[in-house]
Amino acid sequence: MNYKDSIINTAKQTIEMESQSISNLSNLLNSDFSDAVELIYKSKGRVIITGIGKSAIIANKIVATLNSTGTPSVFMHAADAIHGDLGLILKDDVVICISKSGNTPEIKVLVPLIKSAKNKMIALTGNKDSFLGLNADYVLNTYVEKEACPNNLAPTTSTTAQLVMGDALAVCLLELRGFSSNDFAKYHPGGALGKKLYLRVQDISSANEKPEVSSNTGIKEVIIEISEKMLGVTAVIENDKVIGIITDGDLRRMLSKSDDFTLLTAKDIMSKNPKLIDAEAMAVDALEVMETNGISQLLVEDNGKYAGVVHLHDLIKEGII
């Protein structure tokens, strides 16, 4: 086996070992999991998630996932907690402690302090018989047989199992709360995912120029309108309604067919029945129409009247693509 083959083989073994451990998690689920989900769902407080080392990193990710799906959560480092940060925990908060062994010195100091404050505690541990497991109100078992690390030392398989269990918690809570795509957009207003859920066509088209000509407009004026508005297109309008569209492509086709276009008007070269989209439609729907029809622009209507243009480049700029 050559050097590169050895690398690929090691990667495959790592992935297979971790996937098997994740698959086994479903066999470890019991009523403690459903009770823990119900506890968090009915809680009037937040979820405080704590850990140390690699478990602290996983705790941060679970906090981020819960916050983005409607469950208010806060990260508290286990080491900092016993040096002043315990004040983060309020009366109605639920605490999740993450630890593979459940027996680290910080955990052994922290757990009694949480219990004395009478906060409910959920253990996310690979050792249900550990100090943490025996003192928690509920235990989410993330036992793994072996780390993917060949020395069975570096947290690899175990942290993956913790992460997956956290995702399972978040998804169950999301479904209980009836958390919708609109709710998701509220928590992600600045990201591409959120924009797909809340950005409307008019939010984009209103920032563009509004190229338009009448059916009797001469070709020179049509060319000037398209050039000045820099969208590669103009609408042909009668009584505020769209009756046609002229694109750069229509102009090129005209030039290939005619040596003299001085007497031509917009109606002579326009394409009738252009694709239109409502101003209130979602921007992602505009993208679907463009992709389906192989076009780069859409004319926008608002209450049946011409309202502007949305361009493929606008969608790219906004991160919709």
Q: How confident is the model at residue 184 (pLDDT cuts 50, 70, 90)?
A: low
What's the confidence (pLDDT) of residue 193?
Answer: 59
187 versus 229: the higher-pLDDT residue is 229
Residues 110/113/115/118 CA torsion (nearest 10 deg): -130
Q: pLDDT tens across 138-170, in order?
A: 999 999 999 988 888 888 999 999 999 999 999
One CATH from 2.30.30.30, 3.40.50.460, 1.10.10.10, 3.40.50.10490 for 3-179:
3.40.50.10490
Closest by CA to 78, choosing from 51, 118, 53, 104, is: 51
Q: Residue 98 in contact with residue 50, Cβ under 8 Å?
A: yes
Q: How confident is the model at residue 187 (pLDDT cuts 50, 70, 90)?
A: low
What's the confidence (pLDDT) of residue 152?
Answer: 84
262 exposure class (CB count in 10 Å sphere: 0-12, 13-18, 19+): exposed
Distance CA 312, CA 295 (A): 8
What's the confidence (pLDDT) of residue 181?
Answer: 67
Least confident of 44-53, 147-156, 216-225: 147-156
Q: pLDDT tens across 265-301, in order?
A: 999 899 898 999 999 998 888 989 999 999 989 999 9
Taking phi over 0 as left and psi of -120 to 50 as alpha, with beta for the rest, 152 belongs to: left
Distance CA 8, CA 12 (A): 6
284 versus 184: the higher-pLDDT residue is 284
Residue 190: pLDDT over 60? no
11 versus 187: the higher-pLDDT residue is 11
Q: pLDDT tens across 61-117, in order?
A: 999 999 988 899 999 999 888 887 888 899 999 999 999 999 999 999 999 999 999
Residue 249: pLDDT over 60? yes
Q: How confident is the model at residue 317 (pLDDT cuts 50, 70, 90)?
A: confident
Q: For 253-264, what is the mean pLDDT?
A: 81
As a whole number of Å, the end-to-end CA separation of the chain is 42
CATH class of 198-317: alpha beta
Least confident of 45-49, 58-62, 93-97, 181-185: 181-185
CATH fold match for the domains 3-179 and 198-317: no
Least confident of 4-8, 162-166, 182-186, 232-236: 182-186
Taking phi over 0 as left and psi of -120 to 50 as alpha, with beta for the rest, 154 belongs to: beta
Q: How confident is the model at residue 33 (pLDDT cuts 50, 70, 90)?
A: very high
Residue 128: pLDDT over 90? yes
Cα diameter, the chain: 92
Domain spans, the chain:
3-179, 198-317
Residues 83/85/86/92 CA torsion (nearest 10 deg): 180
Q: Which stretches of the chain are DSSP H helices?
A: 3-28, 31-42, 54-68, 78-81, 105-116, 131-135, 157-176, 181-187, 192-198, 201-205, 219-229, 248-257, 266-269, 283-293, 312-317
Q: How confident is the model at residue 236 (pLDDT cuts 50, 70, 90)?
A: very high
Q: How confident is the model at residue 179 (pLDDT cuts 50, 70, 90)?
A: confident
What's the confidence (pLDDT) of residue 196?
Answer: 66
Where do we find the tokens 């992460």?
163
Q: How confident is the model at residue 192 (pLDDT cuts 50, 70, 90)?
A: low
What's the confidence (pLDDT) of residue 195?
Answer: 66
